[in-house]
Amino acid sequence: MKKTFAALAIAGLSAGAVQAQETLEMTSAFGKNLPILGTAALDFVDKINGISGEVEFEHFDPGELVPTLEALDAVSNGSVDASFTTTGYWQGKMTAASLFAAVPFGPEAGEFLGWMLYDDGADLWQELYDMNGFNVKVMPCGIISPETSGWFKTEINDLEDLRGLNMRFFGLGAEVMQRLGVSTSLLAGGDIFPALERGAIDATEFSMPRIDARLGFYKIAKYNYFPGWHQPATMFELLVNKDVWEDLDERAQKQIEVACLANVTTNYAEGEATNFSAMIDNVDNNGVTLKNWTPEQLDVFEATWNEVAAELAAEDEFFAKVWADLQEYREGYDLWNSNIYLPRPRK
């Protein structure tokens, strides 16, 4: 962590007083060239640096400080001050990690935020890191609505067609795909296209159509499947080294929290506003075929996910604790959800 001393006169302070400003180095899991994902990290930095005279953040792309999948360890050990990322990348370290990122057939964005901010989600999220020995402070700092559920080189007419495929897949949804015969791997965004190009993987999911278009998946995989059953919403986190966090005064901490909450709004809105044009461009100009899983196929995905969730809950005490809490919240939310909204889709 760097300290810069701005020789600025502060109203109410004696002449010659200076204010110390903390500059935190923040690695992002997503390159700044990526719309929605990458711009969310930049937007957060712009927000916090615009409202705070006490702390500012310096943005670094993946690999400039540490690779994407090493960010948690780097923030925890203090070699990096902060990271804009998603908990799902730590699924290999903590069984319950993806419950705070994206839950197959789970809550959409509004419901997810309700659990995080007004129920037990945020407290359980911090407990996840604390109990696993990670020296970090975590807070929600972005969210997007569903992603696509995959780009395939060949059409999937039956779920049997999935068997034997090698596919990049994220989070808990990967467990479902493995049960259906897919060999999955977790690759950072910049590594996916080369893997598709050289045939190391046959298919991939990554994010929303506008984001995926920037990565060029349509050049190789022409079948784009919907809906995003594995990620009805994806939550993004800001991780700050806990020693660094506790060294900040309460005002600076609140400024960071406010900037993150504002970032949740703009991140969500950008995704909602800009993806349909990418879908049109994919079909009209890139030769992409948009496909929807049938209700019967979605039933298989969901039944398989329920099996996975039950087994993970039986194997991992904290997963069971979080899963039960989320299910209890969702049962209550369903009374509101099933009555208040218009049927979807409406033509």
Residue-level pLDDT at 139:
98
User: Does residue 310 lie in a domain region?
Assistant: yes
Q: Do residues 24 and 116 both lie within one domain?
A: yes
> Is residue 226 classed as helix, strand or coil in its secondary structure?
strand
User: Does residue 286 lie in a domain region?
Assistant: yes
Which residue among 249, 273, 297 closes a domain? Answer: 273
For the record, the structure tokens of 185 come out as 């791997």
Q: Do residues 74 and 216 both lie within one domain?
A: no
Q: Do residues 108 and 180 both lie within one domain?
A: no
Q: Do residues 227 and 239 both lie within one domain?
A: no
> Is residue 2 classed as helix, strand or coil in its secondary structure?
strand
Residue with tokens 């079909």: 283
| CATH number, residue 330 | 3.40.190.10
What is the radius of gyration, based on Cα positions, of the chain?
21
Residue-level pLDDT at 129:
98
Domain housing 101: 2-141+235-273
CB within 8 Å of 280: residues ≥ 6 apart: none
Residue-level pLDDT at 20:
59
User: Does residue 95 lie in a domain region?
Assistant: yes
DSSP state at residue 329: H
Q: Do residues 269 and 225 both lie within one domain?
A: no
DSSP 291-306: EE--HHHHHHHHHHHH
Nearest partner of 308 among 104, 106, 150, judged by Cα: 104
> Is residue 85 classed as helix, strand or coil in its secondary structure?
strand
User: Does residue 221 lie in a domain region?
Assistant: yes
User: Does residue 345 lie in a domain region?
Assistant: no
User: Does residue 223 lie in a domain region?
Assistant: yes
| CATH number, residue 117 | 3.40.190.170
Nearest partner of 275 among 213, 216, 343, 219, judged by Cα: 213
Q: DSSP H helical segments within 119-249, as ranges?
A: 121-131, 173-179, 189-197, 209-215, 242-247
pLDDT (tens place) for every residue of the chain, 347 residues total: 554 434 333 333 333 333 557 899 999 999 999 999 999 999 999 999 999 989 999 999 999 999 999 999 999 999 999 999 999 999 999 999 999 999 999 999 999 999 999 999 999 999 999 999 999 999 999 999 999 999 999 999 999 999 999 999 998 999 999 999 999 999 988 899 999 999 999 999 999 999 999 999 999 999 999 999 999 999 999 999 999 999 999 999 999 999 999 999 999 999 999 999 999 999 999 999 999 999 999 999 999 999 999 999 999 999 999 999 999 999 999 999 999 999 888 76
The DSSP bridge partners found for residue 335 are none
User: Does residue 328 lie in a domain region?
Assistant: yes
Residue with tokens 């059953």: 229
Q: Do residues 56 and 73 both lie within one domain?
A: yes
For the record, the structure tokens of 253 come out as 């901490």
Q: Do residues 197 and 69 both lie within one domain?
A: no
Residue-level pLDDT at 346:
72
Q: Do residues 169 and 294 both lie within one domain?
A: yes
Nearest partner of 85 among 103, 99, 67, judged by Cα: 67
Which residue among 273, 292, 327 closes a domain? Answer: 273
Q: Do residues 323 and 304 both lie within one domain?
A: yes
Q: Do residues 46 and 188 both lie within one domain?
A: no
Q: Do residues 114 and 263 both lie within one domain?
A: yes
DSSP state at residue 5: E
User: Does residue 220 lie in a domain region?
Assistant: yes
- How many domains does the chain divide into? 2
Q: Do residues 209 and 310 both lie within one domain?
A: yes
